[in-house]
Amino acid sequence: MGGPRRLRYCVNNEWRESKTTKYMPVTNSSTGEVMAEAPCCTVEEVNSAVAAAAAAFPEWSFKPIQQRTEVMFRFRALLESHLDELTLSVSKELGKNIEEARGDIIKAMEVVEMACGAPILMQGDALMNVSTGHDTVMYREAVGVFAGIVPFNFPAMIPFGWMIPLCITLGNTFVLKAASLTPQTAMRVLELLIEAGLPKGVVNLVTCSRNEAELLLKHPDIRGISYVGSTSVGLHIYSTAAANGKRVQALCEAKNHGLVLRDASLERAALGIINSTFGCAGMRCMALPSLCVEETCADEFVGYLVKYAKQRKIGCAYLPETELGPVVSAEHKESVRADSGWPECRRARL
């Protein structure tokens, strides 16, 4: 009766109501229903998240490594016990089918397992008499506050797999700018991380527009930026953050190209290419924007490709039989529609 649920942002392990007047819709990708609204956090709210991470860093980084890994062990157990719940969350807000959504969570769990081995990962080195009368010793130390800017297409794996577990277990603190289209999964995972015993301020979460996110690229208390997304935005993030003295990791679009030669197993190649093209509703790096097939086998290969494309079961993302779910929002559907349609087939003679 009161409309979609209004989401909150998290600072110091507290879920706070935003003072913003702008909210961004979060839809059920399979029905179009607006399930929730994510706040476009204000400048002050983004700054408060950074301040909390900066305040938490000294104590957290000084904790014995075993105490930090204990949080990861408990976190891993909670992810496993909530796997079905998190899988459904990904499937609903993103549009991946159940198996692919489950894979999103499992990939995050794999890195959490790796973070449990941080006492080994953080070991240094020592060498006596590297030069006459000189020994060398190397220590690995935490750096400070890091910020993560993530895309919508892997709401669990990218922030809570690629970024946060290793970053915080090695003693750093973190501010996550969650994707406004798919924030609920990240928020729920953060709740589980807090339940696992994460101290206040170690991980903070905001949703906002690019205008507020720009603060993270220049903020003096942020030591590094981790980004995954489009190349155009990545170039801006890299250049701006690096110019402001940040360490920057920018993983941009990685679309691949396919080449099929006449000695390939054409049927098997077609199955793999269909999976790469339509898996995760086309929202992963293995999607193929271009495919070149040798002339002598092109007709036979296209026959297999059409056959298996037609067999793909399309439907509601969270129905067990669905193989290809919807794109994330109505706006993305229109952009796909504008760019789609079978393009003119250009044959290259090899």
User: Phi first, then psi: what are they for 13, rounded to 5°?
Assistant: 65, 15
Provide the pLDDT for residue 303: 94
Q: CATH 3.40.605.10 region(s) of the chain?
A: 5-127+136-251
Handedness of CA 136, 140, 144, 145 (dihedral sign): positive
Up-side HSE of residue 131: CA atoms within 13 Å toward CB?
2
How many C-beta atoms surround the C-beta of residue 283 within 10 A?
Answer: 19
The pLDDT of 11-16, averaged and rounded, is: 98
Provide the pLDDT for residue 2: 65
Cα angle 201, 202, 203; round to 5: 90
Confidence band for 309, pLDDT divided at 50, 70 and 90? confident
Q: Per residue in 95-132, pLDDT tens?
A: 999 999 999 999 999 999 999 999 998 898 999 999 99
Q: For residue 333, what is the enclosing H or E element? A: helix 330-339
Contacts of 121 by beta carbon, 8 Å cutoff, 6+ apart: 114, 166, 170
Provide the pLDDT for residue 1: 52
What CATH number labels 257-339?
3.40.309.10
Q: CATH 3.40.309.10 region(s) of the chain?
A: 257-339
Q: Per residue in 204-233, pLDDT tens?
A: 999 999 999 999 999 999 999 999 998 899
Answer yes or no: is pLDDT of 193 > 80: yes
Q: Per residue in 236-278, pLDDT tens?
A: 999 999 999 999 999 887 777 889 999 999 999 999 888 887 7
Provide the pLDDT for residue 344: 43
Q: Per residue in 61-105, pLDDT tens?
A: 999 999 999 999 999 999 999 999 999 999 999 999 999 999 999
Q: Which of 285, 292, 297, 316 is catalytic?
A: 285
Confidence band for 336, pLDDT divided at 50, 70 and 90? low
Q: Is the pTM here over 0.85, yes or no?
A: yes
Provide the pLDDT for residue 293: 93
Q: For residue 6, what is the enclosing H or E element? A: strand 5-6
Is 285 a residue of the active site? yes
Identify the CATH class of 5-127+136-251: alpha beta
Q: Per residue in 267-304, pLDDT tens?
A: 999 998 888 877 776 677 767 778 899 999 999 999 99
Provide the pLDDT for residue 277: 78
Q: Per residue in 24-55, pLDDT tens?
A: 999 999 999 999 999 999 999 999 999 999 99
